[in-house]
Amino acid sequence: MTRLTNETSQALIDLANDARKRAYAPYSGYPVGAALQGASGRIYTGVNVENAAYPTSMCAERVAVFKAVSEGEHEFEVIAVVTDNGGSPCGSCRQVLSEFGLGTVVLVADGEGRLVEETTVGELLPGAFGPQDLEA
């Protein structure tokens, strides 16, 4: 697991919490913010974006990952996820994050900016299906 200072962890949590204010969550009323730090040190934020056709909605974590990948970043160090109650990433987000490394640190925080859990993608998704499973 990547070792983070308390200051770095809190800065990412604060960025995710600030991003959460821009979430589009008119149906669930459950705004989520994410801040993803790539191996380059660059940080990508994301928010959940809901849609009246529910299955087309997108989670904050995946928005951050897709922004990073669209900018050429494929290695991630840490992602902070903030919800009102400190909810953990969903299964789809865990799977997407696992594509880029099971060692990525995951910080889960509540709406007050308090760290609720520090873990890794691998710990959130044991037995992850990945590129190695597609090799002939």
Q: Is 61 a catalytic residue?
A: yes
Structural domains counted in the chain: 1
Would 1 be classed as within a structural domain?
no
State the Cα–Cα distance between residues 75 and 84, nearest whole angstrom: 28
For residue 40, tell me if it sits in a domain.
Answer: yes
Q: Which of 7, 50, 61, 71 is catalytic?
A: 61
What mean pLDDT is predicted for residues 107-113?
Answer: 98
Q: What is the mean pLDDT of the chain?
A: 96
| 75/116 Cα distance (integer angstroms) | 24
Q: How confident is the model at residue 66 (pLDDT cuts 50, 70, 90)?
A: very high
Question: Do the domain assignments include residue 52?
Answer: yes
Q: pTM above the 0.75 mark? A: yes
> Average pLDDT for residues 41-65, to the nearest whole number?
97
Residue with tokens 């902070």: 80
* CB burial of residue 100 (10 Å; 0-12, 13-18, 19+): buried
- With respect to residue 124, please indicate whether it lies within any of the assigned structural domains: yes
Q: Give the domain range for residue 101.
A: 6-134
Q: Is 15 contained in some domain?
A: yes
Q: How confident is the model at residue 2 (pLDDT cuts 50, 70, 90)?
A: low
Question: Could you tell me the CATH number of the domain that includes residue 117?
Answer: 3.40.140.10
Q: What tokens were used for 37?
A: 């730090």
What pLDDT is recorded for position 131?
Answer: 87
